[in-house]
Amino acid sequence: MVNNYFLRKSYALTESAIFDRIKLQVNQIFYDNDLRITPETKLIDDLGADSLELLEFNLALENAFDIMILDKTDNKSVQDFILTISEILHIKEKEYRKPPAKDLIISDEAIFTRIKERIYDLYPEKKIYYYTKNTPF
C-alpha cells in the first residue's frame, strides 16, 4: 500500500517564480507583450485596468496557482499579489506536509467488516445464506 503522505504536491514557489507567472497573466489579459511589469506596477494606475480586467486577472491568478484569492484587488500593486499568493501557497504547503491523522488509518479487519455489512445491505438473501451455512447448529 502506497502512503499518500509522500506523494503530495509541493506548493513552494519562490517570489521570482510567482512574479514570472503574474507577468505572464498580465501580458495575456492586456494583450501586450511589451508591457514593462515591475513589482511596483499598479494595475489601475499604471496599466489602466478596468473592473472587468481586474476580475479576469484575479480569476487567471486563481487558476494559475490553484488557489482562491479573497482579498479585494482594487488598486493593488504586483508586489501585493506576490505577497498574497506566496502567503497562501505557504499555508497550503504547511497543510499538505502534515502527517495523516491516526484516526484516519483503518485496519484491514474494519475494512472487511464494512464491506461485509454493505454486501448484506445490498443483498439481504446472502445474509441468511451466510448465517445458515456457517452456524454450527
Which among 16, 36, 15 has a CA at the least distance from the CA of 83?
A: 15
pLDDT at 134: 53
C-alpha cell of residue 130: 451466510
Separation between Cα atoms, residue 127 and residue 123, nearest integer Å: 7
pLDDT at 19: 92
Tens digit of each residue's pLDDT, the chain (137 residues): 444 444 455 556 888 999 999 999 998 888 776 778 899 999 888 888 888 888 899 999 999 888 888 877 666 889 999 998 998 888 888 877 776 666 666 778 888 888 888 877 777 666 555 555 555 54
Q: Answer whether 84's CB lies under 8 Å from 71's CB.
A: yes
User: What CATH number matches the domain at 9-96, 2.60.40.1180, 3.40.50.720, 1.10.1200.10, 3.30.70.890?
Assistant: 1.10.1200.10
Query: pTM for the complete prediction?
Result: 0.61
pLDDT at 74: 67
pLDDT at 60: 92
C-alpha cell of residue 4: 499518500
Name the β-bridge partners of 42. Answer: 77
